[in-house]
Chain A
Amino acid sequence: MAATCEIPNGTRPRIEVRDLEMVYGARIIQRNLNLAVQAGDIFVIMGPSGSGKSTLLRHMIGLVPPARGDVFYDGASFWTADTNDRQRMLRRVGVLYQDGALWSSMTLAENVRLPLEQFTDLPPASIRGIASLKLALVGLAGFEDLYPSEVSGGMRKRAGLARAMALDPDILFFDEPSSGLDPINSRALDDLIVELRDSLGATVVMVTHELASIFAIATNSVFLDEKAKTITAAGPPWKLLHECRNSKVGRFLTRGEKT
Chain B
Amino acid sequence: MDDEGEVRKRAHVTVDRADDGLLRLRLSGRWTLDARPSIVADVFEHALTTADTRVAVETDPQLEWDSGLLLFMRTVLAEAERRQMTVDLAGLPGGARRLLALASATPEYKEPHPEGAAPSLLTRIGSRTIAATRSGADVLAFIGEACVGLLRLLTGRARFQRSELLRVAQEVGAQALPIVSLITFLVGVILAYVGAMQLRAFGAQAYVADLVSVAMTREMGAMMTAIVMAGRTGAAFAAELGTMRVNEEIDALTTFGVSPMEFLVLPRMVALAVMMPFLCLYADLLGFLGGAAVGVGLLHLGGLEYYQRSVQAIALDDFAAGLIKASVFGVLLSIAGCLRGLRSGRSSGAVGAATTSAVVTGIVLIIVSDAVLTVLFDVVHF
Contacts and interface: CB of A to CB of B under 8 A. Distances in A.
B104 A136 contact: yes
Nearest to A146: B111
Contacts of A23: none
B99 A105 contact: no
B27 to A, nearest CB: 17
Contacts of A134: 67
Most buried by B among A103, A105, A146: A105
A103 B348 CA distance: 8
Contact of B38 (A125, A137, A142, A143): A125
Given A133-B74, A141-B106, A198-B95, A104 B38 contact: no
B109 A122 contact: no
Nearest to B99: A199
Given A133-B74, A168-B67, A200-B95, A141 B347 contact: no
Contacts of B246: 104
A147 B105 CA distance: 23
B70 A133 contact: yes
Interface in B104-132: 104-111
Given A129-B38, A137-B103, A148-B347, A142 B67 contact: no
Contacts of A123: 38
Contacts of B66: 168, 200
B5 interface: no
A70 B74 CA distance: 42
Interface of B: 33-34, 36, 38, 66-67, 70-71, 74-75, 94-96, 98-99, 102-111, 246, 345-349
Interface of A: 103-105, 120, 122-123, 125-126, 129-130, 133-134, 136-137, 139-143, 146-149, 168, 192, 195, 198-201
19 contacts: A104-B246, A104-B346, A104-B348, A105-B348, A126-B36, A129-B75, A136-B103, A137-B102, A139-B106, A140-B106, A141-B103, A141-B109, A149-B345, A149-B347, A168-B66, A199-B94, A199-B95, A199-B99, A200-B66
